[in-house]
C-alpha cells in the first residue's frame, strides 16, 4: 500500500470512492498556442491530439441522457483551437448545463478567435482564465514573450462585455499557479494582491482567484530529477490535511481525454491511467451508475490535492 493509501486506510476511506459524477471535464485537445514551462499536460503548438466530431456528438448525448451531470468544464491545451468548440459549448448551454471554459486568455486575441469572448458572454459561459502572475515578467517568463500583454487585452475586452461586472451574472475567475514546483501561497491573500494590482495597473476586475500548486508531471515533471520530485511529494505529504479527502475533485467528476477515454482526473489522463471501471472506460461505453460508484485510483501524487487547504480545478477545498 502506498503512503497516500495508508493515510486513507487509517481514516477508513480506502479505497477512495466516487460520490457522484456532477461534472464532466472535457479535454478537447492537447494543442495550445503557448508552451508554458510548468504545463502538466505538456501542451504546445506542435501537439496534434484533438477531440473528433463523433466524440463531441457522443458527449452531447451523454449530457442529454444524464441529468445528474450538471456542470461541463472544458479544457485543453487551448480548447478554442478545436473546430467543434463553439458547437459543443452551445449544445451544453442549450441542455441547461452550467458551462465553464478554461482559457489562457492570450488565445482570445489571436486571428480567428476574436469573436469568442462575445459568444461566451452571450451564452453566459463562465470563464476560468489562467494568469500565473500579475506582472509581465512573471507571465512572459513562464508563457513566452508578449503573452501578458495579450492576456491583459483579453481581460479588458471581457470586462467590457460584462464579465465580473455587477448585475450581469457573467463570471470570470483567474487561475494562478507557481512558476515551478512548490505549494501555492494562500488563495485569499493572493486574490487580494491580484485584485489590487490588476485594478491599479489596468482597471481590470475579476470574480475569484483559484490558486493551484503544480503537479510534477508533464513538462514540469520532465524538467525535475527523481530526487526533486521525491522532495516535493514529501513536502506535500507533510502538509496532508485529512479534512480535504472527502472533497477531492475526482469524487465528483470524470475527465474525458481527446480520444474519448475516461479518467478519474486530468492528472491521471496525462499519466494514461484510465478509470478502473472496465465496463465503462470510454465515452462509447459511458455508464453513469458504474462511474458514480467507482473506486478511484490513488497514489502519492494525490498529496497535491490534499495538502494544506487542498487543491482542485475549482480552487482550495477547505
Ligand atoms: S499551461 Fe495551459 S496555456 Fe500553458 S501550454 Fe499548458 S495548456 Fe497551454
Ligand atoms: S490526483 Fe487528486 S484528483 Fe487525481 S485521483 Fe488523486 S486526489 Fe483525485
Q: Give residue 147's pLDDT.
A: 97
pLDDT exceeds cutoff 80 at 317: no
Place of cell 472535457: 26
Identify which of 151, 156, 200 has the alpha carbon closest to the alpha carbon of residue 176: 151
Instruction: In the chain, count H helices and then E strands.
Output: 12, 8
**How remote is the CA of residue 188 from the centroid of ligand 1, in Å?**
24
3-state secondary structure 188-218: HHHHHHHHHHHHHHHCCCCCCEEECCCCCCH
**Contact 182/214 with Cβ under 8 angstroms?**
yes
pLDDT exceeds cutoff 90 at 292: yes
Q: In the chain, what are the domain boundaries?
A: 19-218+247-295
Q: Which CATH class is domain 19-218+247-295?
A: alpha beta
**How remote is the CA of residue 126 from the centroid of ligand 2, in Å?**
24
**How remote is the CA of residue 289 from the centroid of ligand 2, in Å?**
20
Answer whether 249 contacts ligand 2 (Cβ < 6 A). Answer: yes
Q: pLDDT grade, residue 179 (50/70/90)?
A: confident
Predicted model pTM: 0.96
**Which residues share a beta bridge with 253?**
23
Which atom of ligand 1 is nearest to 42's Cα?
6
Query: How, if at all, do strands 253-256 and 262-263 pair?
Result: antiparallel
**Contact 304/213 with Cβ under 8 angstroms?**
yes
Answer whether 39 contacts ligand 1 (Cβ < 6 A). Answer: yes
Tens of pLDDT, residues 21-49 = 999 999 999 999 999 998 999 999 999 99
User: What are the distances in angstroms from CA 50 to CA 47, 55, 185, 271?
Assistant: 9, 10, 34, 17
Amino acid at each position: 500500500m502506498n503512503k497516500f493509501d495508508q493515510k486513507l486506510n487509517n481514516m477508513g476511506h480506502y479505497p477512495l470512492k466516487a460520490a457522484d459524477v456532477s461534472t464532466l471535464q472535457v479535454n478537447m485537445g492537447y494543442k495550445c498556442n503557448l508552451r508554458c514551462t510548468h504545463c502538466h499536460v505538456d501542451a504546445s503548438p506542435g501537439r496534434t491530439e484533438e477531440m473528433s466530431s463523433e466524440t463531441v456528438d457522443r458527449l452531447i448525448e451523454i449530457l442529454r441522457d444524464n441529468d445528474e451531470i450538471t456542470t461541463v468544464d472544458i479544457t485543453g491545451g487551448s480548447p478554442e483551437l478545436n473546430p467543434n468548440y463553439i458547437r459543443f459549448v452551445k449544445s451544453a448551454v442549450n441542455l441547461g448545463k452550467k458551462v465553464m471554459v478554461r482559457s489562457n486568455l492570450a488565445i482570445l486575441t489571436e486571428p480567428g478567435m476574436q469573436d469568442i469572448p462575445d459568444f461566451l458572454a452571450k451564452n453566459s459561459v463562465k470563464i476560468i482564465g489562467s494568469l500565473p502572475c500579475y506582472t509581465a515578467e512573471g507571465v512572459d517568463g513562464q508563457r513566452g514573450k508578449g503573452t501578458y500583454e495579450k492576456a491583459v487585452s483579453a481581460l479588458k475586452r471581457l470586462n467590457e462585455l460584462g464579465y465580473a461586472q455587477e448585475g450581469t451574472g457573467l463570471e470570470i475567475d483567474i487561475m494562478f499557479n507557481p512558476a515551478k514546483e512548490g505549494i501555492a501561497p494562500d488563495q485569499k491573500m493572493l486574490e487580494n494582491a491580484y485584485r489590487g494590482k490588476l485594478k491599479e495597473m489596468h482597471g481590470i476586475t475579476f470574480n475569484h482567484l483559484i490558486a493551484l500548486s503544480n503537479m510534477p508531471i508533464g513538462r514540469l515533471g520532465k524538467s525535475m530529477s527523481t530526487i526533486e520530485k521525491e522532495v516535493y511529494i514529501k513536502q506535500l505529504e507533510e502538509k496532508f490535511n485529512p479534512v480535504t479527502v472527502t472533497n477531492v475533485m475526482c469524487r465528483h467528476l470524470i475527465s474525458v481525454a481527446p480520444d474519448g477515454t475516461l479518467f478519474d482526473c486530468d492528472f491521471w489522463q496525462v499519466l494514461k491511467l484510465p478509470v478502473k471501471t472496465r465496463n465503462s472506460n470510454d465515452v462509447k461505453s459511458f455508464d453513469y451508475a458504474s462511474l458514480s460508484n467507482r473506486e478511484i485510483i490513488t497514489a502519492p501524487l494525490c498529496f497535491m490535492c490534499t495538502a494544506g487547504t487542498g487543491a482542485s480545478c475549482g480552487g482550495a477545498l477547505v
